[in-house]
């Protein structure tokens, strides 16, 4: 039996919250920023160099090192990026593969594999709040490791898929920046308009009856980074009584309750399926005779902070009132300029959607190959051929 500590150096995080530096170029990455085994920098804490040095004094992270979440939730893992500007946040451990013992890429995929994650869940389930102690992490069983050559080959196959996913993710981020630039150039010193003046609908969603199938329901977890993540959606057996609660292309979704997620904006673009939102999310539908829906959606993406500031209520009970959202002021140029700019944005949306859909296929292929490779049920050559079909 090979324990994790036999092949890796494992260092615990600081047991306190890193002080935020709004202009910091380093980040403390805790468990909220490790969703989907990818660092979500919008959920990480920006920190300055002094804090980074203090938080990494026991082991300075190198590119390819692994951050592993041992509580809230247990199990997610991410790799330190090439920029090496990431420090372990609370409830994480930093794991560094010993090069002579295990390939670092192989070790990462071993940790995120279903087999390892099931073992993690079994060990952590006995506590009131599921968690792993550092000693638990050190003693996790890796099973029998393949030869170093096989480890390297497995890591290369899976990494090729993840590299393409990352490239598509970067492309989508670049397209969003280009969209922002187009909107800013078109808006200039134009007059302000209340959001309600260009909308046909501003409404909250439904109180769903969750089921194994039926109508897809978007919740607050789905709305992030200007888009909608369907992997976090659930299903409802109930259908809205009003069609205005069924999503149509170019709707804008705005998280409208609670702290942390309230104010997030996502555009429902090119999903091509019937869906609705739950009662914690607002649907904003622009009347195309009054404004260009694509243009207004892009404007709203840049107003997340202003939307968040509209919230009312005590800690944990904050709400975004419909009338406050309706009164939100937008700078909108003439309709002809909106439509011309919207046409350019729609071209970029189409490219972004292609990258999004391709990533779904790539991620599915990776997730299917990962347990098969780790268990030895397929050879690396078979996996390479399968990966080539989607790359």
Distance CA 257, CA 317 (A): 7
What integer is the mean pLDDT of 302-314?
92
- Provide the whole-model pTM: 0.91
> Which residue matches tokens 């090439």?
82
Which string of b and e fits 225-238 if b means at least 16 CB within 10 Å?
A: bbbbbeeebbebee
- The Cα–Cα gap between 190 and 277 comes to 33
Q: What is the mean pLDDT of residues 69-95?
A: 96
Nearest to 90 by CA among 117, 111, 115, 71: 71
Chain-centroid distance, C-alpha 146: 32
Condensed to tens digits (0 to 9), the pLDDT of residues 115-127 reads 999 999 999 987 7
Q: What is the mean pLDDT of the chain?
A: 95
Report how far apart, in Å, the C-alpha atoms of 108 and of each of 69, 103, 116 are.
Answer: 13, 9, 11
Torsion of CA 371, 373, 378, 382, to 10 degrees: 120
> Which pLDDT band holds residue 129 (cuts at 50, 70, 90)?
confident
Task: Determine the 3-state secondary structure of 316 from DSSP.
Answer: coil
Look at residue 373 in the predicted model and tell me its pLDDT: 96
Q: Is the pLDDT of residue 61 over 80?
A: yes
Predicted confidence at residue 238, as pLDDT, reads 85
**pLDDT score of 315:** 66
Contact 75, 120 (CB under 8 A): yes
Looking at 40-44, 49-53, 145-149, 253-257, which range is the least confident one? 40-44
Share of the chain above pLDDT 70, in %: 99
């Amino acid at each position: 039996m090979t324990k994790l500590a036999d092949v890796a150096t494992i260092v615990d995080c600081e047991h306190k919250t890193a002080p935020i530096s709004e202009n910091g170029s380093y980040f403390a990455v805790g468990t909220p920023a490790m969703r989907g085994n990818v660092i979500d920098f919008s959920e990480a804490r920006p920190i300055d160099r002094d804090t980074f040095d203090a938080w990494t004094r026991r082991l300075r992270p190198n590119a390819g090192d692994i951050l592993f979440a041992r509580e809230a939730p247990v199990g997610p893992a991410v790799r330190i990026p090439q920029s090496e500007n990431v420090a372990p946040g609370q409830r994480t451990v930093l794991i560094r593969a010993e090069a002579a013992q295990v390939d670092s890429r192989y070790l990462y995929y071993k940790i995120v594999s279903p087999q390892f994650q099931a073992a993690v869940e079994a060990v952590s389930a006995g506590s009131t709040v599921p968690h792993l102690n550092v000693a638990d992490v050190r003693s996790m069983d890796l099973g029998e490791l393949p030869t170093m050559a096989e480890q390297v080959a497995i890591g290369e196959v899976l990494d090729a898929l993840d590299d393409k996913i990352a490239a598509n993710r970067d492309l989508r981020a670049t397209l969003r920046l280009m969209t922002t630039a187009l909107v800013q150039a078109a808006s200039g010193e134009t007059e302000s308009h209340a959001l309600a003046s260009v909308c046909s609908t501003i409404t909250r969603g439904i109180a769903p009856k969750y089921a194994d199938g039926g109508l897809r329901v978007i919740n607050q977890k789905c709305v992030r980074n200007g888009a909608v993540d369907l992997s976090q959606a659930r299903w409802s057996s109930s259908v809205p009584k009003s069609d205005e609660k069924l999503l149509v292309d170019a709707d804008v979704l705005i998280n409208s309750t609670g702290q942390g997620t309230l104010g997030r904006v996502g555009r429902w673009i090119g999903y091509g399926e019937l869906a609705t939102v739950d009662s914690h999310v607002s649907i904003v539908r622009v009347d195309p005779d009054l404004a260009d829906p694509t243009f207004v959606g892009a404007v709203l993406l840049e107003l997340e902070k202003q939307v968040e500031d509209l919230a009312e209520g005590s800690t944990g009970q904050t709400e975004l009132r419909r009338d406050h959202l309706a009164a939100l002021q937008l700078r909108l140029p003439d309709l002809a300029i909106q439509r011309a700019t919207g046409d350019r944005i729609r071209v970029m949306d189409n490219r972004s959607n292609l990258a999004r859909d391709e990533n779904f296929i790539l991620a599915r292929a990776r997730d299917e190959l990962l347990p098969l490779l780790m268990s030895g049920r397929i050879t690396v050559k078979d996996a390479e051929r399968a990966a080539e079909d989607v790359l």
